[in-house]
Amino acid sequence: MNHHIAQKGNLERLAAARDVTQDALVVVPGIMGSELRDAATGKILWGLSGARWLLEAWTSQSGLSALRMTEDELEGRTGRVKATQLLKHSAWTPHLRGFEPYSDLVAALQTCVPDKAAILEFAYDWRLSVTHNGRRLAAAARRHLTAWRSHPAHDAARRLRRDETPARLVFVAHSMGGLVTQDALNPLYDTDLACDTRGVITLGTPFYGAVKAVSILNSGRGTPVPLPHRKLQNLCATMPGLHDLLPLYACVLDGSEARRLTPEDVSTIGGDIDLARRSIDHAAKRSVVGLPGHHAIIGTSQETAQSLSIKDGMVHAHCHTARRHSDHTFIRDNNGHIATFDCQGDGTVSTEAATLDSPTTPLPLQHGAVAADRSARRTIEELVRRDNHLGPPMGGAGCGLSTPDLVEVGTPCTLDISGSASPSGVSCDIVALEGTARVTPRLFLRNRQLTATFRLDRPGLYRVTVTSHDRKQVSQLLLASPPEGRVTRLGEL
């Protein structure tokens, strides 16, 4: 008995010293943000560490073939692939580019709770539909909340909070994870889950979809494209999860009008018409599900595809979009043509597609790095620890970064930096994630565009980091591969 009292006292002192919450936290990653394994053999299918594995996966003919959807999986008989943990290593894909691991985010959240048992890392098979994973998340969140409320550290933290209420849920969701969370809160799964949720924090969630999803489905059509882009299209053509990211707004510029993407469009450009129909239907049902205490953290200032046009089965993405007046009619110029606006975004999701009618924190970040950024983590910590968000000082606007997603070794390449009219005070570094390779390109103005030319001499995964004059940083991952047609051998790296 004395030991039990002493343990409770220690927990209370720890909780008081660290200003922790009594709530249960759930981290929900984005697409490709969970490690996937073969359920029968345990073999890792997605999520291995290192540039060697990534190069082998994307530049060999058989790499990643096990991720392709099977007929059984398309019929709903899942279980062949198992999600085991959140992404622990930096990863890369064509179009979507770099994905930073969630380790730093989880570490930051651990400072906000009295015991790591308060945190659930919800890994899921991102190939499957948002609806499938939302149902699983609802059940997992309920189990997690029940278990945490019975944990001794919960009571210790609860007694030191202002209202002493039992724990509720706080979801921290990146990208597609925000859609999975919204679906999980559907009362059809758990009538009380929304009431038991204090807050939902989304990071770059495409509530209205992303034009990049259309570009992925269209890769490999028309002019020759690199092997990694063709492989991604082949994987995603029948992937329900990717179809759930298709844009839902009037993104197709068609003559003098703007319209929504249709299932027939999706079929024409390389996707699956039935999956597109299901995705549109499920998105309509999901849109009426509220997000309790929602706060969106969105990436801004990055060149982002926001609309598209389709000609002869080819998709042409545009970094601008149509907008509407308050009466819902399109804004037009003096000639009656639709006026377009560059709303930018995080390089993958436009600012407007990531925003609902809820408080928003904009940060000049790329999509795959939002969950790993220090400023974003500070904002999340404030939201988790208390009901009233104070947030970090936002400072200047930072800058935008546009890089190729795939480069060939030995080939000169360029990157563009927006948001700065001068190279003064701006720096750029390109560093290999493995080894010591480092390039510091010289920045120069070309046609009023801040630009840098660089060349990488070894295959591998590299992080490009730009520091603006106000000391804000934006980063992106890119993959350097051997020349097209040359198969990478692990011993060459």
Q: Tell me whether residue 87 is in a domain.
A: yes
Query: 120 pairs with which residues across the strands?
Result: 26
Which of 171, 203, 235 is the C-terminal boundary of a domain?
Answer: 203
Roughly what angle, to the nearest 10 degrees, separates helices 211-218 and 227-236? Answer: 110
| Residue found by looking up tokens 């943000």 in the block | 33
pLDDT for res 479? 94
459: phi then psi, degrees, rounded to nearest 5: -65, 150
Tokens of 324: 């509407």
Tokens of 210: 């992303």
DSSP code, position 139: H
Per-residue pLDDT tens for 180-239?
A: 999 999 999 999 999 999 999 999 999 999 999 999 999 877 667 788 999 999 999 999
| Cα separation, 6 vs 12, whole angstroms | 10
* 335 close to 256: Cβ distance less than 8 angstroms: no
Confidence of residue 9 (pLDDT cuts 50, 70, 90): low
Per-residue pLDDT tens for 415-428?
A: 999 988 788 889 99
Which of 203, 219, 242 is the C-terminal boundary of a domain?
Answer: 203
Per-residue pLDDT tens for 273-319?
A: 999 999 999 999 999 999 999 999 999 999 999 999 999 999 999 99
Q: Tell me whether residue 142 is in a domain.
A: yes
Exposed e or buried b for every residue in 454-483, given b needs 16+ CB within 10 A? bebebbbbbbbebbbbeebbbbbbbbbbbe
Nearest to 24 by CA among 198, 201, 205: 198
Q: Tell me whether residue 276 is in a domain.
A: no
| Cα separation, 56 vs 202, whole angstroms | 33
pLDDT for res 449? 87
Best mean pLDDT range from 51-60, 163-172, 269-278: 269-278
Tokens of 30: 């984005």
The C-alpha angle with vertex 342 and arms to 336 and 343, in degrees rounded to 5, equals 120
CB atoms within 10 A of CB 252: 21
Q: Which amino acid is at 350?
A: S
Tokens of 88: 């622990």
Q: Tell me whether residue 337 is in a domain.
A: no
As a whole number, mean pLDDT of residues 69-82 equals 96
Which of 151, 186, 203 is the C-terminal boundary of a domain?
Answer: 203
| Cα separation, 169 vs 118, whole angstroms | 10
Number of domains present in the structure of the chain: 2
Q: Long-range contacts made by residues 64-69, C-beta under 8 angstroms, separation at least 24?
A: 64/231, 64/235, 66/38, 67/36, 67/127, 67/235, 68/234, 68/235, 68/238, 69/127, 69/238, 69/239, 69/240
- Residue 251 or 16, more confident: 251
Q: Tell me whether residue 100 is in a domain.
A: yes
The C-alpha angle with vertex 36 and arms to 35 and 39, in degrees rounded to 5, equals 140
3-state secondary structure of 438: strand
* 85 close to 75: Cβ distance less than 8 angstroms: no
Residue 478, domain CATH: 2.60.40.10
Tokens of 449: 């565009």
Per-residue pLDDT tens for 350-398?
A: 999 999 989 999 999 999 999 999 999 999 999 998 744 444 444 446 7
What is Dmax (Cα atoms) for the chain?
83
DSSP code, position 430: E
Q: Tell me whether residue 454 is in a domain.
A: yes
CB atoms within 10 A of CB 405: 19
Q: Tell me whether residue 405 is in a domain.
A: yes
Nearest to 432 by CA among 456, 401, 466: 456
The C-alpha angle with vertex 40 and arms to 34 and 41, in degrees rounded to 5, equals 80
pLDDT for res 311? 94
Q: Tell me whether residue 223 is in a domain.
A: no
| Cα separation, 137 vs 219, whole angstroms | 32
| Cα separation, 103 vs 253, whole angstroms | 40
DSSP code, position 442: P
pLDDT for res 489? 47
| Cα separation, 367 vs 187, whole angstroms | 30
Query: 306 pairs with which residues across the strands?
Result: none
Q: What percent of the chain has pLDDT over 90?
A: 76
Structural domain boundaries enclosing 477: 400-492
